[in-house]
Amino acid sequence: MMSETLRQLAYQSPLLLVYLIGLILSLILIRHAPKPAFMAAGACAVLLFTTLAASIAGALIFNTRMAGGISFETFSWISSIINVLSACIRAAAVGLLLAAVFVGRSGPGPASNFPVIPNSR
């Protein structure tokens, strides 16, 4: 089981690294912009946990199948449930991350920020 789990985690390592860096940066910036940083930290933590849990669960169910503990149909059904649940959780976390980008921002500035020079011809 350990080798399959490590293999699954190795496949996910680029994402895991991004989620971990995002979590650390969010926690560092929490005093500068508390609400967006807190939302981003939560999203990165959920993404990190979901990726780890789905990889471990996938490896566990794979090893159980290979040992003959469950039928292919059961393996397929459980794998589908794991994939759908993790996809839904990831989608919610990405939505939270996108919301963190825009929370607390004001609308566009006044039009006078871009002065228009009349045509002198």
The whole-model pTM stands at 0.80
**Residue owning tokens 């981003």:** 40
| pLDDT per position as a tens digit, 72-93 | 999 999 999 999 999 999 999 9
CA dihedral (92, 47, 57, 13) positive or negative? positive
Nearest 5°: the CA angle 107, 113, 116 is 130
So what's the pLDDT on residue 98?
95
Sequence spans of domains, the chain: 2-103
Nearest 5°: the CA angle 69, 75, 79 is 140
| pLDDT per position as a tens digit, 29-60 | 999 999 999 999 999 999 999 999 999 999 89
So what's the pLDDT on residue 112?
57
What's the mean per-residue pLDDT of the chain? 89
